[in-house]
Structure 1
Amino acid sequence: MTEPGLTDTGTAHRLTRRIASVLTLEPDAGAIEYDGRWTTWGQLAGLAERIKDICLETSTGDVPRVGILLRNRPAHVAAFLGVLLAGGCVVVINPSRGDARTRSDIADLELPVVIGEADDLRNLVDPQSTTTVVTITDMTIEPEVASATANSRGPAHDGSGTAVLMLTSGTTGPPKRVALTYDMLARSVLGADHRSDDNRSPDTDSSAPARLSSGVAIVNAPLVHIGGVFRTLQCIVAARPYVLLPRFEIGSWADAVRRYRPRAVSLVPTAVRMVLHSDLTRADLASIRVVTSGTAPLSAEDADAFTDKFGIPVLTSYAATEFGGGVAGWTLADHREFWEAKRGSVGRANPGSRLRVVADDGTVLGPGETGLLEVVPGQLGPSSDWIRTTDLARIDSDGFLWIVGRADQAIIRGGFKVIPEDVRTALESHPSVEGASVVGRPDDRLGATPVAMVELRSGEAVTDGELAEYLSDRLARYEIPTAIVIVDAIPRTPSGKADLTAVRSRLESGE
């Protein structure tokens, strides 16, 4: 059975057309497993279609801007897809950032429509506002607000503009929203369109799947992060069913791996370390041939330890929300040939992406020289300009990229430059340390000094003095933190990165 309205996509972007075609392949088959229960492709399509109708009804001729209080649940995936089917713009709202801050954020956005679960909407949306509030419960809308007449309408917009206003992780300051266009997302999950990015090209796609993919993927990245959006769209456009986890939790993740035996999984560095130091064995992960890891630095030592324990290579990558995804990474072939010589690198430029390192004045530096990284992301197309990052990097003569640190986080201690990543890596090499975060603290005499927050592995015990002594053989004296605070858990963003703003606040307050 074909869901009404999903085939009316003649003017839609190729990403929207692909989503619509996949949703109608096998309506009765399972699409998303969540909490032990499968949501079918037909259920996903039905709710997405109703959300699409609401978007079109409230758009008044403009591109629909729809806020979604996103959580990792099937109904939220359907709502996300429904906005894209309407050619609209998903405004990502993280309901876990704190009620007061989120409530203020929603009020400032002045959105015509906000979608979410009842508790989130009740707590976060002003009942006196003119915003249309759409409550999703399980795979239904309560109350039903989409009219029956809207169901026959195709997208009023061609999807040529912004698909998602995505919140950055906010590791170093307040999160900001970055515009991800339909073209950026399409290039990320579908690859370059060699015909053109003409939104009015014929409503056919010879590369679209004719049937559902075999095998089941696992998605544990949050939908409020680019990683979660990418993994979700990647599964949808490939017609691949997947297990959706509300968050990474080693028990439920390992259970899904044992049941569905995926060949590849994606884990943020924090999750890599959790698996590494768990009781899982090679037999538990026997199906996995490769682990991909991004969003934050992963030390070569941790990557090697994971491979030694499980026999699985870890392919690291370099990405940013502003790029619409990854721009560099390891391939399995490169890992086999170059890892021993290039360990610690985040790989080479992805197809379509370009990388270079420049001095402060813009002079392009040669192989092996350290400077500011500039990127032309493949997701932006070949004619885009160079984007200067705040990352200090070097690129060798074979094109392998090393991220050395961040220029805006360098700590100048009495004239000496301390790179927090170097200190963090040294701390995390201690066998008792699960994770570490390093920031600068103002100092009247030296300008600033490094201070560290450390999270220990379960059951381990070590003092700050013992950690400082451990660092004395691994770092210069000026790099050793003037304070090492051991905590139960380092504050983290939804993507698993250390929340440096929260870390700095806690260290400065002495909590």
Structure 2
Amino acid sequence: MFRREMRVMDDRSTGRSSTMSRSRYEAQIRKVLGERQQETAIDADGIQFTWGEVKSVVSAIERILDETGLVEPEKVGLMGRNLPAHFAALWGVFVSGRCASMVQAFQPPQALAADLTANRWPLVIGEPRDWTAEVIAAAEAAGTVGYAFAEPAGTRLERVTRAAKPGPQTDRSPEGETVLQLLSSGTTGKPKRISLSRTAVDEMIERTIQQFEMAGPATNATQLLPWPLASLGGTNGALPAVALGQRLAIQEKFDAPKMLELIRRYRPAFLSIPPSAVGMLLQLKPSREDLASVKLYSSGSAPLDSNVRRMLEEDYGIPVAEFYGA
């Protein structure tokens, strides 16, 4: 396996090769990255990842994008997991003006390899454990340049494919104004890739910020995010968080007792977790005081059980906003 380490530098200036408009939140995001260096950006099962570390990953991602020759809004495959560097990578692709195309990391190597073969992304970024020999072989056959994070909570990336530039067989054609491709929940079958334009993404960020503000002060709050990063719920939480400078508390795999501890520790006013997960949380029989900070629960991806809704509203006094099927 050929590896070339990409060390992070923070003094990079971003070059632009397209006149496509950027997100109206780009300047706000870059301000957060520039001014909050020492503060915690992400709490990942107790591992603290600072905004300075996030900025380092963003700088490395933007430099890799330029070195591989990707222009706005060409697609970048992200094998997303709920790990700090993966959130930073999403933010880096987003502010660069390229299209973040989410890839389901939680699938067998042969399925992941088939995904790379079918989509022929010019660049894919993921976790070392997901770059198996079979997946690397599929990437190289497709002409894809592959990078892996050097360590789960780290800020360095290293190339795992031999080629440093995408091959001619890769799909370099942008899909109109698409800047984000998410995966559906898969509740009715195999997850589907959903394409969103810059305008749609900015509106999504704005709506989520409004939901936070309905519950209480949104800026500098802590957001609990158990949704998979590659899903609509995960990205719908991750992008507003960086725009607002919120701390994210994430879990790679949902754990109800740990989630309850996070609620007790951070006292969030707004809570958005999958319907099945909130059901597991209530099975722990938390006290009313445990959930007293929560002023609004937002549900999605699947119908919310009527008994769970009743418990939230009647036993805990928590209003429910349900968006499934919208």
TM-score bracket for this pair, using the shorter chain length: 0.7 to 0.9
Once residues 6 and 77 of structure 1 are traced to their aligned partners in structure 2, the CA distance between those partners, rounded to angstroms, is 21
1:274 offset after TM fit, Å? 1.3
Structure 1 residues 295, 144: CA separation in 2 closer, same or farther (over 3 Å shift)? closer
Once residues 56 and 272 of structure 1 are traced to their aligned partners in structure 2, the CA distance between those partners, rounded to angstroms, is 42
Q: How does 1:63-74 map to 2 (within 5 A)?
A: 63-74=73-84
2:52 to 42, 45, 50: 42
Q: Which runs of 5+ in 2 are unaligned?
A: 1-8, 161-174, 208-217
Residue deviations 1:57-83 (CA, integer Å, cap 9, x gap): 223556332111100011001111111
Paired residue for 2:253?
A: 247
Which structure has more helix as a fraction of its residues?
Answer: 2
- SS of the equivalent of 2:276 reads helix
- 1:131 paired with 2:137, answer no
- 1:140 paired with 2:151, answer no
Structure number with greater Rg is 1
- 1:110 paired with 2:112, answer no
Paired residue for 2:34?
A: 24
Which TM-score applies when normalising by structure 2? 0.79
1:162 to 148, 163, 178: 178
2:198 to 172, 182, 187: 182
Amino acid at match of 1:58: T
Once residues 25 and 183 of structure 1 are traced to their aligned partners in structure 2, the CA distance between those partners, rounded to angstroms, is 27
- SS of the equivalent of 1:96 reads coil
Structure 1 residues 37, 62: CA separation in 2 closer, same or farther (over 3 Å shift)? closer
Structure 1 residues 303, 90: CA separation in 2 closer, same or farther (over 3 Å shift)? same
Residue deviations 1:267-295 (CA, integer Å, cap 9, x gap): 22112211222232112222222222111
Paired residue for 1:51?
A: 61
- SS of the equivalent of 2:190 reads coil
Which TM-score applies when normalising by structure 1? 0.52
Once residues 206 and 321 of structure 2 are traced to their aligned partners in structure 1, the CA distance between those partners, rounded to angstroms, is 21
Once residues 188 and 159 of structure 2 are traced to their aligned partners in structure 1, the CA distance between those partners, rounded to angstroms, is 41
Q: Is the 8 A contact 2:101 2:181 kept in 1?
A: yes
Paired residue for 1:119?
A: 129
Q: How does 1:462-473 map to 2 (within 5 A)?
A: none
Q: Is the 8 A contact 2:81 2:252 kept in 1?
A: yes
Structure 1 residues 318, 143: CA separation in 2 closer, same or farther (over 3 Å shift)? closer
Structure 1 residues 293, 187: CA separation in 2 closer, same or farther (over 3 Å shift)? same
Give the alignment's Cα RMSD to 1 decimal: 2.7
Once residues 308 and 60 of structure 1 are traced to their aligned partners in structure 2, the CA distance between those partners, rounded to angstroms, is 52
Q: Is the 8 A contact 1:7 1:20 kept in 2?
A: no
Q: Is the 8 A contact 1:161 1:182 kept in 2?
A: yes
1:249 offset after TM fit, Å? 1.4
Paired residue for 2:289?
A: 283
Paired residue for 1:221?
A: 227
Amino acid at match of 2:33: L
1:77 to 84, 87, 104: 87
Residue identity (%): 29
1:313 offset after TM fit, Å? 2.6
Once residues 60 and 310 of structure 1 are traced to their aligned partners in structure 2, the CA distance between those partners, rounded to angstroms, is 50
Q: Is the 8 A contact 2:42 2:84 kept in 1?
A: yes
Q: Is the 8 A contact 1:56 1:64 kept in 2?
A: no
Q: How does 1:261-340 map to 2 (within 5 A)?
A: 261-318=267-324, 327=326
Residue deviations 1:334-376 (CA, integer Å, cap 9, x gap): xxxxxxxxxxxxxxxxxxxxxxxxxxxxxxxxxxxxxxxxxxx
Amino acid at match of 1:4: D
Amino acid at match of 2:300: G
Q: Which runs of 5+ in 1 are unaligned?
A: 146-158, 192-211, 320-326, 328-511
Structure 1 residues 172, 292: CA separation in 2 closer, same or farther (over 3 Å shift)? closer
